[in-house]
Amino acid sequence: MNAPGAQAGHGEHSRRDAAAAAAGAAGTRLDPWFSSYAERAHGMRASEVRSLFAVANRPEVVSLAGGMPNIDGLPLDFLAEMTAKLLRDRGPKVLQYGGGQGEEELREQIVDVMRYDHVHAHPDDVIVTTGSQQALDLVTEIFVDPGDVVVAEAPSYVGALGVFRAYQADVVHVAMDDDGLVPEELDRTLTELKRAGRTVKFLYTVPNYHNPAGVTLSLERRPQIVEICRRHHVLVLEDNPYGLLGFDADPMPSLKSLDDDGVVYLGSFSKTFAPGYRVGWALAPHAVREKLVLASEAAILSPTMMGQLSVSTYLSSYDWYGQVKSYRAMYRERRDAMMAALGEFLPEASWTVPEGGFYTWVKLPEGLDAQAMLPRAVTNLVAYVSGTAFYADGQGHDHMRLSFCYPTPERIREGVRRLADVVRAEADL
Ligand code: PMP
């Protein structure tokens, strides 16, 4: 099809067409509306994780790819009864629109949940969102103009990178090591960016049980990161969906607890309860929170009432923290299985040892390319996510993310064994 976008370089379309051309010519043939898209839409593409889902979900494939929490242990009978009672007792409220900021009773409970992260907040400063993913979107929407810089860990959560791309941010990665983000590297990067005249809007960081790196920011580094950002007048966006899922220790103080004014904190019930309710939140300095509510109202009017009141009832009428503890025990067993299998089958590689969460970050033996190897792995009935998904700048070929959250320990062992076969064949070991 000969869409108008094919005529690159003509008049008012030229800027858009340049973006379209950069995004690849295939779209012009398949999509008659290609030249009508906003510039930002040209940068949108399916993440490597998303396009993997179809194959990875085949039962014969051991998927070490997805980050889906394992919700098998949830009390389904209790939840069924709870839902029926909620509708019977509070139907007109549950089925109605709610306020844009979210239900006050839930915001009060969220304040209690955040005490585990050493955060002392007021319910007025909390906004309930459609998962923390929507909070990522809202924060980026209110802060980022095209061409602004977002500083993020190397590597970073793929879903956050997708949001930053959608708002045409330039992502600048900062190195991590086994203790998380490296303060000296952050300071150096922010200084260089300032010298280059760039506008940095925020630092995006996942301090606990990082997705995908599996590392945790050390206690010692936490105040350093906050101090560096304060000195450079850069907001911190602290994303903490896994904070309560530490295997051996209670959560360390969040960055938010160290600098209330300089940090927007994101939380979620997706990993500590269930992702299907789509309930997360942001805790932000008062003026920022007001903007977030306006942006959220424009996007969705109000967050899900069914989801919010279900989560609220669960928190008040079930031993939710006992459930968190049983999740921890289950994920710890799976982490152990993953670590043992890597040691047994893939000693040529190196990997992080996560103290919580869902992921380990594996460095392949010299010369191997995780992205190129993936089709061979899937043929050998194992899936992972190539490290390239977690960078905005094409790095990551030498790494892969392995998730231990979903498969059983036996399947994890079998998956790593299959993966090791592929690596060996590839590396000619
Ligand atoms: N941040 C991180 C680091 C995540 O891993 C995820 C989910 N994979 C999210 C945010 C979004 O979670 P949700 O929208 O379900 O709260």
The pLDDT score that the predictor gives to residue 223 is 98
| Cα within 13 Å of Cα(424), Cβ side | 11
- By DSSP bridging, strand 200-205 and strand 350-351 are unpaired
Q: Which atom of ligand 1 is nearest to the CA of 206?
A: 3
CA distance 176 to 415: 27
Q: Could you report the predicted ipTM of this complex, rounded to two decimals?
A: 0.99
The pLDDT score that the predictor gives to residue 50 is 67
Pocket test for ligand 1, best of 129, 133, 176, 237 (most atoms within 8 A of CB): 133
Contact of 241 with 157, CB cutoff 8 Å: no
Pocket of ligand 1 (CB under 6 A): 67, 131-133, 157, 159, 206, 211, 239, 241, 268, 270, 275, 280
The pLDDT score that the predictor gives to residue 95 is 97
The pLDDT score that the predictor gives to residue 51 is 66
Ligand 1 mean position, distance from CA 3 (Å): 37
Ligand 1 mean position, distance from CA 356 (Å): 15
The pLDDT score that the predictor gives to residue 266 is 98
Q: Average pLDDT per run of 10 along the chain, which is 429 residues long?
A: 36 46 56 90 74 76 92 94 97 97 98 94 97 98 98 97 96 97 98 97 98 98 98 98 92 94 98 97 97 98 98 97 95 98 96 98 95 93 96 95 96 97 86
Ligand 1 mean position, distance from CA 389 (Å): 15
The pLDDT score that the predictor gives to residue 249 is 80
The pLDDT score that the predictor gives to residue 103 is 98
CA distance 305 to 94: 5
Q: With residue 413 as reference, give the H or E element that holds it.
A: helix 409-427
Alpha-carbon 153 to chain mean position:
12
Pocket test for ligand 1, best of 49, 50, 137, 211 (most atoms within 8 A of CB): 211
What residues form DSSP beta bridges with 127? 282
Pocket test for ligand 1, best of 50, 129, 239, 265 (most atoms within 8 A of CB): 239
